[in-house]
């Protein structure tokens, strides 16, 4: 998981540098199916991976013959990403002030919006919109509020809560922002409030994770594709 606070000097992940490899393995497993869906949507395109962290999403996109630029504000995260020798360009920068102007087919942000302050979250999204072509897409993967109370959703919700609570040990603001994000309905609700046209929506782990595709100019959000893809039944 990544952080964009608008300051490259602030790096909460420096204090847990030695633990990132074990956390990385869990991250890969939990997010495999949602990320596979994203890769299917973006094969062979030029992609901006925002808040790329240790490069797991970047690596999958490159394997699908995408040209990828990964950006993150954390030097610690980028160090781990570069150690994987992925055929992508990694840059340390503030996601609220991306220097790109209509340069990418799509921009992706994976498990990062929830940890940002609301005003930072909005600035990051606006910056992503500027980075993609006029007909480009923005894709977000993040936590969602399940529509129904199932065994899978309860299990996943407990797992997510436990993982997010761990951030209190090194970055309390992360957990506070996560709580605010979920109280207000999670990813899908946040995108609606941003007046975003939702083209496609995919849910995983009992609806606790969502991949949402938004377009730059779609007039009828009711025409979006909705799909539930559970990790296991």
Contacts of 188 (CB under 8 A, 6+ apart): 144, 145, 198, 201, 210, 212
Q: What is the per-residue pLDDT across 91-145, written as a single tens digit (0 to 9) for each?
A: 999 999 999 999 999 999 999 999 999 999 999 999 999 999 999 999 999 999 9
Decide: 159 and 182 in contact? Cβ < 8 Å.
no
Residue 51 within any structural domain of the chain: yes
- State the total domains in the chain: 1
Q: Which of 59, 64, 120, 57 is nearest to 87 (CA)?
A: 59
Residue 216 within any structural domain of the chain: yes
pTM of the model: 0.88
Q: Which of 113, 108, 61, 109 is nearest to 87 (CA)?
A: 61
Looking at 6-10, 43-47, 68-72, 174-178, which range is the least confident one? 6-10
Residue 87 within any structural domain of the chain: yes
- 186: domain CATH number is 3.40.50.150
Residue 233 within any structural domain of the chain: no
Residue 1 within any structural domain of the chain: no
What pLDDT sits at residue 13? 81
Residue 3 within any structural domain of the chain: no
Decide: 53 and 72 in contact? Cβ < 8 Å.
yes
Residue 72 within any structural domain of the chain: yes
Domain range for 118 is: 12-228
Q: What is the per-residue pLDDT across 41-70, written as a single tens digit (0 to 9) for each?
A: 999 999 999 999 999 999 999 999 999 999
Q: Which of 2, 16, 87, 7 is nearest to 47 (CA)?
A: 87
Residue 2 within any structural domain of the chain: no
Band (pLDDT 50/70/90 cuts) for residue 156 is very high
């Amino acid at each position: 998981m990544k952080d964009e606070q608008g300051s490259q000097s602030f790096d909460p992940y420096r204090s847990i540098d030695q633990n990132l490899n074990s956390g990385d393995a869990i991250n890969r497993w939990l997010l495999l199916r949602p990320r596979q869906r994203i890769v299917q949507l973006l094969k062979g395109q030029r992609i901006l991976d925002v808040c790329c962290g240790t490069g797991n999403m970047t690596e999958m996109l490159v394997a699908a013959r995408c040209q990828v630029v990964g950006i993150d504000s954390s030097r610690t995260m980028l160090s781990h990403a570069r150690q994987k020798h992925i055929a992508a360009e990694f840059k340390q920068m503030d996601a609220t002030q991306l220097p790109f102007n209509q340069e990418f087919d799509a921009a992706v942000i994976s498990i990062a919006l929830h940890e940002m302050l609301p005003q930072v979250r909005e600035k990051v999204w606006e910056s992503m919109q500027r980075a993609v072509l006029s007909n480009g897409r923005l894709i977000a993967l993040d936590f969602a509020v399940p529509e129904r109370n199932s065994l899978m959703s309860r299990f996943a919700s407990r797992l997510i809560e436990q993982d997010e609570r761990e951030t209190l040990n090194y970055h309390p603001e992360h957990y506070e922002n996560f709580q605010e994000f979920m109280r207000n309905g999670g990813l899908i609700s946040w995108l609606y409030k941003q007046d975003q046209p939702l083209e496609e929506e995919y849910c995983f782990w009992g609806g606790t994770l969502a991949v949402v595709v938004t377009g730059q100019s779609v007039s009828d959000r009711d025409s979006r594709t909705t799909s539930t893809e559970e990790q296991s039944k």
